[in-house]
């Protein structure tokens, strides 16, 4: 995430801001420009952008910005849409009767918009179900019914379901502790589930499938059996030698999704540090050094890795000085780095030349239920307890 400034007063502002804290200008994100802009009123519900790249163009607030206060994206005035590109991806919102659910909806949308920003930075195409009814992406934000039905966070043929309880910090932390996870974030769920989606879009049925199988394994093995085995037996004792997380050992699909999510994490953090001009210049030349400021979208994979390790060393050291747990509680073994490299290649370039096929491509059943989120215990899916906006 790069840095943003108010176009009226040049005050530093954040991607999620809706008003400048210094001059009180309305702020809104313009996805066509990839920029956060300050706006001035232009009458009739229209706003004029003050960003130099917008050249005074007129915009409207997304309805979920103007009326629901859970968004900050803008829509060009000449477009008929009432919802922005991000909000159009959400098919079902939480039931807003419980007072906390609006806060949870807001947090879910914030995490989704940050995910979309990273995908746009990397040039990864995002299509809505409206634009592409067969392969488009959409989201449902659901809650447990309280009658024995449990919502599973997961992916099913482009539909990503998230249990809104994950937006409750106390719930998420208690779940993380109970499942012995080092890390569990709302943004991480979005990254992981889109990993499943983009496996179907970018890898399955393409020449990338053979390189995938060499690193991740045969994805045609029965998923339900692998899931049962994982929750019965747990991860192998030496999982850290080849996997980014214990849950990644469950099935090649989960290994890919976990690795995809981790790659997006690395890119997002490096992009942010580069935008702020973060550099490491230790007095001892043998300590980790970081001076490279190559934009992440232009960087080679080796360049990203060379910068990543010193940055995480500094990040963890800063967290320990604050009395906090390590901000980056992971170890990247060489096989994991090679898996991350494949994710980078899939995103960055065309697929390799097709080779001989050794295994049939796995096909999901027609009504495959959403897959559990990382380290979430299996439970039968319940009825959808929320209503559309």
pLDDT, tens digit (0-9, with 9 covering 90-100), for 151-182: 889 999 999 999 999 999 999 999 999 888 88
pLDDT value, residue 372 = 39
pLDDT value, residue 289 = 84
Question: How big is the CA angle at 118 (ends 68 and 21), to the nearest 5 degrees?
Answer: 50
pLDDT value, residue 91 = 94
Q: Which structure tokens are listed for 247?
A: 């849950």
Task: List the single range of 234-243, 316-325, 372-381 with lowest mean pLDDT.
Answer: 372-381
CB 40 within 8 A of CB 50: yes
Distance CA 15, CA 37 (A): 10
CB 14 within 8 A of CB 57: no
Closest CA to 373 of 54, 58, 51, 152: 152
Q: Which structure tokens are listed for 161?
A: 């379901």
Segment 281-304 mean pLDDT: 87
- Does the pLDDT of residue 77 top 60, yes or no? yes
- Does the pLDDT of residue 370 top 80, yes or no? no
pLDDT value, residue 89 = 97
Give Cα 222 distance to the centre of its chain.
27
H or E element, residue 40: strand 35-43
Segment 335-357 mean pLDDT: 83
Segment 135-160 mean pLDDT: 89
- Does the pLDDT of residue 388 top 60, yes or no? no
Q: Predicted confidence band at 336 (pLDDT cuts at 50, 70, 90)? A: very high
Structure confidence by residue, pLDDT tens digits, 39-64: 999 999 999 999 999 999 999 999 99
Provide the mean pLDDT of the chain: 88
Q: Predicted confidence band at 148 (pLDDT cuts at 50, 70, 90)? A: low
Distance CA 188, CA 111 (A): 9
Q: Predicted confidence band at 240 (pLDDT cuts at 50, 70, 90)? A: very high
pLDDT value, residue 225 = 94
- Does the pLDDT of residue 380 top 60, yes or no? no
pTM of the model: 0.87
Distance CA 139, CA 385 (A): 15
- Does the pLDDT of residue 308 top 90, yes or no? yes
Segment 140-157 mean pLDDT: 86
CB 73 within 8 A of CB 66: no
Q: Predicted confidence band at 354 (pLDDT cuts at 50, 70, 90)? A: low
Distance CA 342, CA 241 (A): 18
Segment 95-120 mean pLDDT: 95
DSSP 70-92: S--BEEETT---SS-TTGGGEEE
């Amino acid at each position: 995430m790069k840095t943003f400034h108010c176009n009226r007063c040049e005050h530093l502002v954040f991607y999620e801001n809706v008003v400048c804290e210094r001059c009180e200008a309305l702020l809104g994100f313009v996805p066509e420009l990839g920029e956060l802009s300050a706006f001035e009123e232009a009458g009739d519900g229209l706003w004029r952008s003050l960003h130099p790249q917008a050249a005074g163009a007129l915009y409207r607030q997304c309805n979920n910005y103007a009326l629901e206060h859970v968004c900050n994206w803008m829509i060009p005035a000449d477009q008929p849409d009432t919802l922005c590109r991000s909000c159009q991806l959400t098919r079902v919102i939480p039931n807003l009767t419980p007072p906390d659910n609006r806060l949870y909806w807001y947090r879910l949308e914030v995490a989704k918009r940050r995910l979309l920003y990273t995908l746009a930075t990397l040039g990864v195409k995002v299509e809505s179900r409206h634009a592409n009814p067969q392969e488009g992406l959409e989201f449902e934000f659901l809650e447990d019914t309280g009658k024995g039905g449990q919502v599973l966070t997961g992916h099913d043929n482009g539909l990503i379901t998230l249990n809104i309880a994950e937006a409750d910090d106390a719930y998420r932390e208690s779940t993380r502790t109970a499942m012995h996870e080092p890390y569990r974030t709302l943004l991480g769920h979005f990254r992981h589930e889109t990993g499943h989606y983009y496996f179907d879009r970018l890898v399955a049925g393409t020449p990338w499938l053979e390189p995938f199988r060499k690193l991740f394994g045969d994805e045609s093995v029965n998923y339900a059996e692998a899931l049962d085995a994982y929750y019965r037996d747990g991860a192998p004792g030496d999982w850290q030698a080849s996997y980014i997380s214990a849950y990644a050992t469950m099935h090649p699909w989960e290994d890919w999704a976990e690795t995809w999510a981790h790659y997006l994490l690395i890119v997002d953090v490096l992009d942010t540090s580069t935008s702020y001009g973060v550099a490491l210049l230790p007095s001892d030349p043998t300590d980790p050094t970081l001076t490279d400021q190559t934009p992440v979208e232009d960087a080679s994979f080796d360049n990203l890795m060379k910068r990543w390790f010193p940055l995480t060393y500094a990040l963890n050291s800063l967290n320990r000085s604050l009395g906090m747990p390590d901000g980056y509680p992971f170890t990247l073994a060489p096989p994991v780095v090679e898996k991350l490299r494949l994710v980078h290649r899939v995103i960055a370039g065309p697929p390799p030349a097709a080779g001989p096929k050794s295994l049939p491509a796995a096909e999901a059943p027609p009504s495959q239920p959403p897959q559990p989120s990382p380290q979430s215990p299996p439970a039968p899916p319940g009825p959808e307890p929320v209503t559309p906006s």
